[in-house]
Chain A
Amino acid sequence: MNLAIRDIRYHLGRFILTSIGLGLLLGVVMSMGGIYRGLFADALTILTITKADIWVVQQNTNGPFAENSRIPEDIKYRIKAVPGVAEASPLSFQTIQIDRMDKPLRFFLIGYDLNGFGGPPVILAGRNIRQKHYEMVVAKGMNMAIGEKIRLGLHDYTVVGITSKVVSSSGDPAAFVTLADAQDIQFKKDNDAIRNDRERIGANLSSIQALSPSQAEFLQQNIARITESTHTVNTVVARLAPDANLQEVQERISRWNHFRPISVEEQTRILTKGMIEKARMQLGLFRIILLVISAVIISLIIYTSTLDKIKVIATLKLIGSQNRVIVAMILQQSLLMGILAYGIGYVLILLTYEKFPRRIVLEPFDLQMLFVIVVAICVISSFVGIRKALKVEPAEALGG
């Protein structure tokens, strides 16, 4: 006869409620693990969808995801010409926050060359960008409809397609526009700003006595053209030919002034170690704390449940029950509670993880490890109850 099952059957409501409570806690532990994996996946999403071998960024910087990197767009031609490079494409990144339907909408705008790569990885609805201007493809997470217009910078952009769950390293959903549009949004000044800049340049030049009025006017026009240029990008990504040597290509680009070629491995390290390490540690700490809390709760539940059964245990001992019968009853209850709570937590996360604002990635390995930890916690936690039970004297069954 399984006494643990019989006790649970008798106190079913209490057992289920306790397991639900514990399950919610384990659900939080699972979600923490999922958020950590999600952070990792988010951080690498753009790196993954771009499928580039080298990221050429501004010298002495760690690239567009870690800090500001600005390089001229036309460097793509030089990169393309490097032996071993199969293709190169400029990319522009910018985090934008606008008001949409009276709510803030924050997203990561990616500008890409329509003739290059680095655009939307897949089109789930609508179509890809076909025109050079004013069209955009947005990630599913932006919850926008095809045909919807939003104003970015000086122009309105129409959503023509929906792509998959592409997000920035900070978890903001991504939107894609052409490189020209992205540069306009990022760098193009409005007319008043342009007029002010031109007047300031003109005033500065006119104060130079050595210049004749015609020289000053010529310089004013040319300097203004340079300052008003939007042909700047954050990075140029390159894919190598199948037989190319990554190190050789990197060395060759490194010899140029002002540029730094970062391999995918380096970029991955920058993103994961540099940017999400603290978040990872924080989440890890939370998980440990929650597991300790779970262990304490299970211990307390098992201990109080053992205290409730002191007379039962004493009676069992008095009628000659072996200790293993009593130990099995406590241990099995603890394990059943832990396993049920784990199941409840798992179902809860399975039903809700798509609704989390940030990506939750449930890795089978993490879930299996957590299951093993929960089982271990149940076994360890039941020790306090078992210890108490083994100390109960059969004589305690006597008396009123």
Chain B
Amino acid sequence: MDKSMYAIEVEKLTKIYGKGETAVTAIADATFQVKPGELVAILGPSGSGKTTLLTAIGLINEPTHGKVVIDGAVVADEGWTPGFDLKRMRREKLGFIFQAHNLIPFLSAIENVMVALEINHLSRSEAKSRAVELLTSLNLAHRLNNFPSALSGGEAQRVAIARALANKPKVILADEPTAALDTENGKNVMALLKKLAVENHSAILVVTHDHRMVEGFDRIFQVSDGRITGES
């Protein structure tokens, strides 16, 4: 497969916090690729560097060394690519799912999805119909006008997934998406992500410490002490 066919390409990605004697290497020489439609987990204990890896791929945390390519665009090569519009890239190509759903508390379920679309310059009516479509597909049609405080944990996480999918991203990055859910809801969310990866042809990279949640993933990278120690 041609390299440009990968949704995510990471090559010798290294992130070092601090300088000199106090320098801490959070992730070192991470190299992997994720194809569109592939569901990949990064599994590791707390402090192993998996979130650092996710934030570097999510264009939040500048890598110290190495290269990051998203949907064929070199976003980082020994630091951010000069002049590259990271915000636009995040808006158009990336979708984020968080540990604690991170829905905006003062927006209803439909508005939480619409905000991501309107930020990406969709008209109000287009944003509304797309949000309804997404939430309906995630069995939330009856919850469109509910605020996050009125949703269950599973429902809130599904709204967050709808928001992540809103702009049809090439890459979805999920940071411990099941951490705030019970086992059943957690498994449901993971199953949903797997379904979406196939349906939307998006690369989904899930960071988790819970090995019970990664059943059925296409690939699993084990991370320990800042290094990818294995792939299964």
A interface, CB within 8 angstroms of B: 1, 3, 6-7, 9-11, 311-312, 315-322, 325, 393-395, 397-400
**Closest 8 pairs between A and B when the two form their complex, measured CB to CB:** A320-B91, A10-B106, A320-B90, A7-B106, A315-B102, A395-B60, A394-B60, A321-B119
Residue in A1, A321, A395 whose CB lies within 8 Å of B55:
A395
Known contacts A394-B60, A395-B61, A399-B99, A6 near B91 by CB under 8 Å: no
Q: A397: which of B61, B102, B116, B163 is its contact (CB, 8 Å)?
A: B102
B38 at the interface (CB under 8 A from A): no
> Cβ of A318: which chain B residues have Cβ within 8 Å of it?
58, 60, 90, 96
- Determine the distance from Cα of A69 to Cα of B100 in the docked complex, in whole angstroms: 83
- Inter-subunit contact B120/A320 (CB<8 Å): yes
Q: Complex Cα distance A63/B106, Å?
A: 67
What 1/0 flags go to B100-128 for Cβ under 8 Å of A? 10101111000100111011100010000
Quick check: A312 and B104 within 8 Å, CB to CB?
yes
Q: Does B30 contact A (CB under 8 A)?
A: no
Please indicate the chain A residues that have their CB under 8 angstroms from the CB of B124 in the complex. Answer: 1
Contact B88 A320, beta carbon cutoff 8 Å = yes
A residues near B96, Cβ cutoff 8 Å:
318-319, 397
Q: Would you call A319 and B106 a contact (CB within 8 A)?
A: no
B180 to chain A, nearest CB (A): 7
CB-nearest residue of chain A to B117: A1
Assess whether B114 is in contact with A1, with CB atoms less than 8 Å apart.
yes
Chain B interface residue count, CB cutoff 8 Å, equals 35
Contacts of A315 in B (CB 8 A): 98, 102, 104
Bound-state Cα–Cα, A173 to B107, Å:
58
> What are some 9 contacts across the A-B interface (CB < 8 A)?
A1-B111, A1-B118, A6-B107, A315-B102, A315-B104, A320-B91, A321-B87, A398-B51, A399-B99
Q: Give Cα A342–Cα B58 distance, bound, in whole angstroms.
A: 44
How many angstroms from the CA of A155 to the CA of B99 in the assembled complex? Answer: 90
B102 A400 Cβ-Cβ under 8 A = no
- Interchain pairs with CB closer than 8 A, number: 79
Interface residues of B in 111-163 (CB under 8 A from A): 111, 114-116, 118-120, 124, 147, 163
Contact A398 B98 (CB under 8 A): yes
Contact B90 A400 (CB under 8 A): no
Most A-side CB within 10 Å, residue of B94, B115, B175, B180: B115
How many angstroms between the C-alpha atoms of A398 and B54 in the bound complex?
Answer: 10
Contacts of B119 in A (CB 8 A): 316, 319-322, 325
* In contact, B111 and A6 (Cβ under 8 angstroms): yes
Which of A322, A395, A398 is within 8 Å of B99, CB to CB?
Answer: A398
Once bound together, how far apart are the Cα atoms of A11 and B149, in whole Å?
13
Is B90 within 8 A of A393, CB to CB?
Answer: no
What B residues does A311 contact at CB under 8 A? 102
Instruction: List chain A residues, Cβ under 8 A from B104.
Output: 3, 312, 315-316
B92 interfacial by beta-carbon distance below 8 Å: yes
* Docked complex Cα distance between A325 and B87 (Å): 13
* Best-surrounded residue of A7, A312, A315, A325 (most CB of chain B within 10 A): A315
Residues A400 and B180 in contact, CB atoms below 8 Å apart: yes
Distance, CA A393 to CA B118, complexed state (A): 21
The distance in angstroms between the C-alpha atoms of A11 and B104, with both chains bound, is 13
Q: Which residues of A contact B99 (CB under 8 A)?
A: 398-400
Determine whether the beta carbon of B98 is less than 8 Å from that of A397.
Answer: yes
Whether the pair A319, B100 counts as a contact (CB closer than 8 A) is: no
- Residues in A with CB closer than 8 Å to B16 are none
User: With contacts A315-B98, A400-B100 known, what are 8 further pairs, Cβ within 8 A?
Assistant: A1-B115, A3-B106, A6-B107, A311-B102, A315-B102, A322-B119, A398-B51, A400-B99
Q: Once the chains are docked, how many angstroms separate the CA of A223 from the CA of B149?
A: 96
CB-CB < 8 A to A312: which residues of B? 104-106
Cβ of B191: which chain A residues have Cβ within 8 Å of it?
none
Whether the pair A320, B111 counts as a contact (CB closer than 8 A) is no
B179 at the interface (CB under 8 A from A): yes
What mask results when residues 41 to 66 of chain B are scored 1 for a CB within 8 Å of chain A, else 0?
Answer: 00000000001001100101100000
Give chain B residues whose Cβ lies under 8 Å from the Cβ of A398.
51, 54-55, 60, 98-99, 175
**Residue among A7, A318, A398 with max Cβ neighbours from chain B (10 Å):** A398
B55 x A3 contact (CB < 8 A): no
Complex: chain A residue closest to B106, CB-CB: A10
Q: Which residues of B contact A400 (CB under 8 A)?
A: 99-100, 179-180
Are A11 and B102 neighbours in the complex by a CB distance under 8 Å? no
A397 to B163, CA, bound (A): 15
In Å, the complex CA distance between A287 and B151 comes to 48
CB distance from B184 to the nearest CB of A (A): 20
What is the CA–CA distance of A316 and B54 in the complex, to the nearest angstrom?
18
In the bound assembly, the distance between CA atoms of A398 and B97 in angstroms comes to 9
Q: What residue in chain A is nearest B147 (Cβ atoms)?
A: A10
Give Cα A1–Cα B104 distance, bound, in whole angstroms: 13
Closest chain-B Cβ to A324's Cβ sits at a distance in Å of: 11
Residues of A within 8 A of B118 (CB): 1
Instruction: Name the CB-closest residue of A to B58.
Output: A318
A320–B95 CA distance with the chains assembled, in angstroms: 10
Q: Which residues of B contact A399 (CB under 8 A)?
A: 51, 99, 175
| Min distance, Cβ A256 to any Cβ of chain B, angstroms | 80
Alpha-carbon distance between A399 and B55 when the two chains are bound, in angstroms: 11
Chain A residues with CB under 8 Å of B58's CB are 318
Q: Contacts of A319 on B, CB cut-off 8 Å?
A: 90-91, 96, 115-116, 119, 163
What residues of A have a CB within 8 angstroms of the CB of B100 in the complex? 400
